[in-house]
C-alpha cells in the first residue's frame, strides 16, 4: 500500500484530470491561518444555522479551525476555513442587530444563558479581526466534469481531506467519490461547497492529506469496479430510486474505465 502520497506520482500514466481552480469556491492562494488555539469567535451553529453562537478554537490545521460551541458538549466539534462566511469576530452579531444564542443542546437551563454568556466572554481570549479572511467569490456556474480529480473533506471524518474524483453531476450538485475507499464516505454536495479543494491544496497549505484507500487491491483485484454502482441519488431526486439503482438522466456518471479504484500492490 501507499506509505507516502504525491499527486504527481499518483496521476502518472493515468488520464490526469485535476479540476481547474475556477471550479472551486476557494481562494487561488490559500489564506494564512492567523488564529490561535483557545481564542473565541462567533459562529453559526451548524445544527441550527439561524443561531449565531460563541465558539472556541480547539484545533487548527492549515487554514482550517476546529470549533466547539461554548455551552455545548465536545461531541459536536466542527471545522471551518479561516475565510468561511460562517465565522465572525466577537461583537459582530450585536453590531448587526442580532443576539447571541445558546447552542443547540445547551448544557444548562436556558434561563442561565445570559449569565453564562457574560462569564464566557469575560477575560476570554478574543480572536483578532485581522485573522478573519474574506470569503472567496462563488464560481458563476457548475464547471465540474465527471472524472475530474480533487481533494475533499471526508464528512464522516471531517478532520480528514482525501483524494477524490467527481463521480456524477446533476444541475448544481456534484458527487464526491473518495479514491480507493468503499462508497460509504461518498456524498453529493453543491458545486460551490467549501468542503472541496483543487489538487495540491493540502500540500500547499500544510494540511494533512489522507492516502487513497486500498479498494481493489485484494478481493476486488482485477475486477473492474464502477463508480456508477456506488452513486446514490442527490437530495431531491426521485425518492423511489434506491441508493444503488442507476442514476436517472440527466445525471452523468463516469464509466468503469475511469473508476478511481486501482491496484497498488
Residues making contact with ligand MLZ (CB under 6 A): 154, 157, 160, 162, 178, 181, 185, 210
- 80 has which bridge partners? 65
- H/E stretch holding 13: none
Closer of 86 and 151 to ligand MLZ (Cβ): 151
Shortest spacing between CB 196 and ligand MLZ, in angstroms: 13
Contact 143, 191 (CB under 8 A): yes
Nine-digit cell string for 231: 452513486
Closer of 46 and 163 to ligand MLZ (Cβ): 163
Closer of 157 and 229 to ligand MLZ (Cβ): 157
Which residues have C-beta within 8 Å of that of residue 247, sequence separation ≥ 6?
A: 168, 170, 228, 231, 233, 237, 241, 253
Shortest spacing between CB 213 and ligand MLZ, in angstroms: 6
Contact 179, 213 (CB under 8 A): yes
Closer of 136 and 260 to ligand MLZ (Cβ): 260
Shortest spacing between CB 10 and ligand MLZ, in angstroms: 15
Shortest spacing between CB 162 and ligand MLZ, in angstroms: 4
Shortest spacing between CB 41 and ligand MLZ, in angstroms: 28
**What's the burial of 240, exposed, middle or buried (CB within 10 Å: 0-12/13-18/19+)?**
exposed
Q: How far is CA 249 from CA 2, 62, 142, 180, in A?
A: 37, 39, 17, 26
Q: Annotate 113-130 with b (16+ C-beta within 10 A) or e (fewer).
A: beebbeebeeeeeebeee
Closer of 121 and 160 to ligand MLZ (Cβ): 160
Q: Are strands 78-81 and 87-88 parallel, antiparallel or unpaired?
A: unpaired
Shortest spacing between CB 249 and ligand MLZ, in angstroms: 28
Closer of 72 and 210 to ligand MLZ (Cβ): 210
Amino acid at each position: 500500500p501507499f506509505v507516502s502520497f504525491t499527486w504527481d506520482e499518483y496521476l502518472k500514466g493515468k488520464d490526469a484530470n485535476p479540476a481547474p481552480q475556477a471550479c472551486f469556491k476557494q481562494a487561488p492562494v490559500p489564506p494564512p491561518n492567523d488564529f490561535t488555539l483557545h481564542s473565541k469567535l462567533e459562529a453559526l451553529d451548524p445544527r441550527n444555522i439561524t443561531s449565531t453562537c460563541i465558539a472556541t478554537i480547539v484545533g487548527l490545521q492549515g487554514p482550517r479551525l476546529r470549533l466547539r460551541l461554548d455551552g455545548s458538549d465536545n461531541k459536536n466539534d466542527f471545522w471551518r476555513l479561516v475565510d468561511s462566511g460562517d465565522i465572525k469576530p466577537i461583537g459582530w452579531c450585536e453590531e448587526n442587530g442580532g443576539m447571541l444564542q445558546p447552542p443547540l443542546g445547551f448544557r444548562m437551563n436556558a434561563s442561565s444563558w445570559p449569565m453564562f454568556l457574560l462569564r464566557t466572554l469575560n477575560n476570554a481570549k478574543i480572536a483578532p479581526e485581522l485573522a478573519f479572511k474574506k470569503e472567496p467569490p462563488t464560481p458563476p456556474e457548475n464547471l465540474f466534469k465527471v472524472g475530474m480529480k480533487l481533494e475533499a473533506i471526508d464528512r464522516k471524518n471531517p478532520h480528514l481531506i482525501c483524494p477524490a474524483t467527481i463521480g456524477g453531476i446533476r444541475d448544481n450538485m456534484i458527487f464526491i467519490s473518495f479514491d480507493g475507499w468503499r462508497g460509504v464516505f461518498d456524498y453529493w454536495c453543491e458545486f460551490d461547497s467549501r468542503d472541496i479543494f483543487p489538487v495540491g491544496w493540502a500540500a500547499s497549505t500544510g494540511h494533512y492529506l489522507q492516502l487513497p484507500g486500498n479498494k481493489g487491491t485484494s478481493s476486488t483485484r482485477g475486477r473492474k469496479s464502477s463508480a456508477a454502482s456506488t452513486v446514490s441519488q442527490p437530495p431531491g431526486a426521485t425518492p423511489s430510486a434506491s441508493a444503488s439503482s442507476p442514476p436517472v438522466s440527466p445525471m452523468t456518471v463516469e464509466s468503469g474505465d475511469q473508476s478511481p479504484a486501482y491496484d497498488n500492490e
